[in-house]
Chain A
Amino acid sequence: MTAEERLAMEPGVGVALDEREPYPPGDLAIWIFILAELLVFGIFFAAYAFTRLNHVELFNHYQLTLDRNAALVNTLALLTSSYFVIRGVVAAREGNNRLCARWTWAAVAMGGVFLAVKTTEYAHHIGAGVNLSTNEFYMFYLSLTFFHFMHVILGMVILAAVALKAGRGGYSEDDHTGVETGASYWHMVDLVWLILFPLVYVMR
């Protein structure tokens, strides 16, 4: 396989207008699911911003109690996991199941880093007596991040299933929709966090 052919295996590459696909990579059903998820998160984000409108001082004050360093580590963990997932997709498109499994397991591990860091954050806040009823800011912080936390867990389960199947040689150059489907879901989880991070931890 030439360098150009390998390059064309990457998502987003090979984009001459007449070469573009009618549908995104992966099963179309996952994209309907992704759109529904994005809608819910979008409403959540707007609700946060408009609730803040009437409690600016409170939101700005309690935002300072959040651990931005932990949020940075988590953002980098999700970005890195998304990168590993892409490498897994490229490997699957090349028919290299073994490599696909390795990259995908690495992505799952980075998801584990995210969960570990986030759990530490929750333990700190809950240990300090914070709960959903403490105030409007913490209500949004806990519910929004925990909703996302659950999506990370689901994404890791999906990626683990992909990695297991790849490990058994279950994909080929012609049949790797399952890898692309899992990857699309995981990128959505990453995408949502990329808005959540600045909105909740930085913007004030």
Chain B
Amino acid sequence: MNTTGTARRLIRPCTLVYLVLVLLTVATWAVGTAGLGGLPVSLLVLAVALLKGHLIGDWFMGLRSVRGIWRWVVAIWLLIPGGLISIAFVLSDRG
């Protein structure tokens, strides 16, 4: 019996990624519902959002199977607004 093949048939990689995305989404919602705030929490929530975006790019959009600049196009996009949002929240915390 090919157990590896059986395991692969049981859960597809895209299904696993989907479940991880759902879990991270519920965690983000729980942070908001609990009323948690402040700079560390906000940056953590943003980091989780960027990770989710990267998973979407890699596994859902299929960029993991692409080479060159196209491989990183979503990751680069995530880092630019992600960086700007982080700077704005750090400045607002200091202000």
Contacts and interface: CB of A to CB of B under 8 A. Distances in A.
Q: Tell me if chain B binds chain A.
A: yes
Interface of A: 2-4, 7, 10-15, 17, 19-25, 31, 35, 38-39, 41-43, 45-46, 49-50, 52-53, 56, 60, 68-69, 71-72, 75-76, 79-80, 82-83, 85-87, 90, 180, 184, 187-188, 190-191, 194-195, 197-199, 201-204
Interface of B: 2, 5, 8-9, 12-15, 18, 21-22, 25-26, 28-29, 31-33, 37, 42, 45-46, 48-50, 52-53, 56-68, 70-71, 73-74, 77-78, 80-82, 84-85, 88-89, 91-92, 95
A80 B74 CA distance: 20
27 contacts: A3-B9, A15-B65, A20-B66, A21-B65, A21-B67, A22-B68, A24-B62, A24-B70, A24-B73, A25-B62, A35-B73, A39-B77, A41-B81, A42-B81, A46-B88, A68-B32, A68-B33, A72-B25, A72-B29, A80-B18, A82-B18, A191-B61, A195-B81, A198-B48, A199-B49, A203-B42, A203-B46
A90 B12 CA distance: 11
Interface centre among A7, A41, A199 (most CB of B within 10 A): A199
B77 A42 contact: yes
B8 to A, nearest CB: 5
A197 B37 CA distance: 15
B90 to A, nearest CB: 10
A28 to B, nearest CB: 9
A79 B88 contact: no
Given A12-B64, A194-B49, A7 B81 contact: no
